[in-house]
Structure 1
Amino acid sequence: MGLLITAGDATAQSLLKKPVKLFNGKNLSKWYVFIENRGRNKDVKKVFTVEDGLIHISGEEYGSIVTKKEYENYQLTVEFKWGDKTFAPRANQARDNGVLLHSTGPDGGYHGIWMRSIECQIIEGGTGDFLVVGDGSENYALTAPVAPKQEGRGNVFSPTGSPLTIHKGRIDWFDRDPAWKDVKGFRGAKDIEKPVGEWNTMVCVAEGDQISIFLNGVLVNQAFQVKPAKGRIQIQSEGAEMFVRKVELTPLPKK
């Protein structure tokens, strides 16, 4: 199986339609908030706020901002950086968050926290991993080419690998450090994500039932036969402070 889409292809297609700013720098008017054990729009601890033109995610409670609309066939650009603060139960673990695509079903459908979805992971050392945040059924799935399995390692994306279908769990980005540890401040030898406090750009190209993840201009992961292939978009709070300065969606033409 060859590459599903290249950075050049994505750029060319993105010129065809006008981008939609999902974050206007002023408020979260295109989103609602869901907080674990509190519900929709009950963000009493102000986990998600807009400060100085940025979305500030405190990380103090688990939850997400969720787009009010569903989307399909798009290129999503998210610019983010980590803050310093972390909170229990992950106060001393790797800073963890994520962008969840094709989110469907009830709020909190996954462990009472997030909508079921396909996650483009943002975690120290593992940004660009795929996770199926589903119910274990065929309703939530993806297939990705993976390298031959190595002892002690997860399933690792490889453009020339053999297709693997998962209904739960993850597909690691292609150069995830095999010595990764779930510790605060972890950095792998070949990490593409920039150090804490520096801005990163994640581009998720959702085209039909395919998703490609680019991190800081590098293709890090791809999947096809993704289920579902449309839905809302979530940005998580999962114990670590994060700032977001851009969330922009460019519609792509249907194949």
Structure 2
Amino acid sequence: MKKGITGCLLLACFFVQAQKQTKNLKPLFNGKNLNGWYSFLTSKGKNSDPEKVFNIENGLLHISGKEFGYICTEKVYNNFHLVVEFKWGTKKYPPRDADTTRRDNGILYFVPQNATDFVWPKSIECQIQEGDVGDFWMVDSTTIVVDGVRTIPKDFNRAQKKADGEKPTGEWNRVEVIANNGNLTHIVNGITVNKATGASLSKGKIIIQSEGAEIYYRKIEIAVLK
């Protein structure tokens, strides 16, 4: 009985904390422009986007996917609760233009402040790809601990999600990334799909990718955790 009561109290505390995080969310994307962000494209460099790979349309962030690159926050974050809402568009571009190739995008976080802009900088990724939303990708020898085992440092290493929370392509999906003192949680449409501890990175910038597939974001919000 005592264990059961303790478990209930811990669960209650978790929900209270989650509610506080949600109440403290503030827009990272204002629906009007990309203030607070800069763009990078592989062929154009920083803040040069003549073809509007990243564009604001009717209050939405439209990412064409036509060229690989990203938008990146100017600010650095360590402990945070990030919330985004996205849906896939219809267009795809090489190397993802084949009918059988899944649409791909992603959120990179803990990008070091002094990192050189290129595709892709050192970071941890919350994968946004059809069928794989919520996977961890560790970029440039970054490591995490999953199920008590530290991942092997590699150029790219993956830790697959443990559950599926995705909605069908074309519908809006809500993705949350919670980073708190090295503990990482990925939540998709209210379902916790992946968790890790002991992240080898602890702070950095946040990136939204352009990776060969059209995608829309209607919400990008963040709460800074103490």
Partner of 2:6: none
Q: State the 1:61 CA deviation.
A: 0.2
Distance 1:9 1:59 in 2: 38
The letter of the residue matching 1:63 is G
Report the 3-state secondary structure (helix = DSSP H, G, I; strand = E; otherwise coil) of the residue aligned with 2:199: strand
Partner of 1:61: 67
8 Å CA contact 1:99–1:234 kept in 2: the answer is yes
User: Could you say if the C-alpha distance between residues 9 and 91 of structure 1 is closer, same or farther in structure 2, counting changes exceeding 3 Å?
Assistant: farther
8 Å CA contact 1:144–1:224 kept in 2: the answer is yes
What TM-score do the two structures reach when normalised by structure 1? 0.78
Partner of 1:113: 119
Aligned length: 210
Partner of 1:142: 144
Report the 3-state secondary structure (helix = DSSP H, G, I; strand = E; otherwise coil) of the residue aligned with 2:128: strand
8 Å CA contact 1:100–1:119 kept in 2: the answer is yes
Q: String of CA shifts for 1:9-38, please: whole Å, max 9, x gaps.
A: 6514416x7322100111100100010132
Partner of 2:160: 172
8 Å CA contact 1:34–1:107 kept in 2: the answer is no
Q: Gaps (5+ residues) in structure 2?
A: 1-9
Partner of 1:229: 202
Distance 1:10 1:172 in 2: 26
User: Could you say if the C-alpha distance between residues 9 and 225 of structure 1 is closer, same or farther in structure 2, counting changes exceeding 3 Å?
Assistant: farther
Q: String of CA shifts for 1:19-58, please: whole Å, max 9, x gaps.
A: 2210011110010001013211011221101110000000
Partner of 2:109: 101
Report the 3-state secondary structure (helix = DSSP H, G, I; strand = E; otherwise coil) of the residue aligned with 1:248: strand
Q: String of CA shifts for 1:127-167, please: whole Å, max 9, x gaps.
A: 10000112x3xxx211111xxxxxxxxxxxxxxxx423232
Q: State the 1:116 CA deviation.
A: 1.4
The letter of the residue matching 1:192 is G
8 Å CA contact 2:165–2:190 kept in 1: the answer is no
Partner of 1:25: 31
Partner of 2:215: 242
Q: Percent identity of the aligned residues?
A: 43
Distance 1:211 1:121 in 2: 13
Q: String of CA shifts for 1:229-253, please: whole Å, max 9, x gaps.
A: 1100000000000000000001111
Q: 4+ residue runs of structure 1 moved beyond 2 angstroms?
A: 5-10, 17-20, 105-108, 162-168
Greater fraction of residues in helix? 2
Q: Gaps (5+ residues) in structure 1?
A: 146-161, 176-190
The letter of the residue matching 2:18 is T
Partner of 1:14: 21
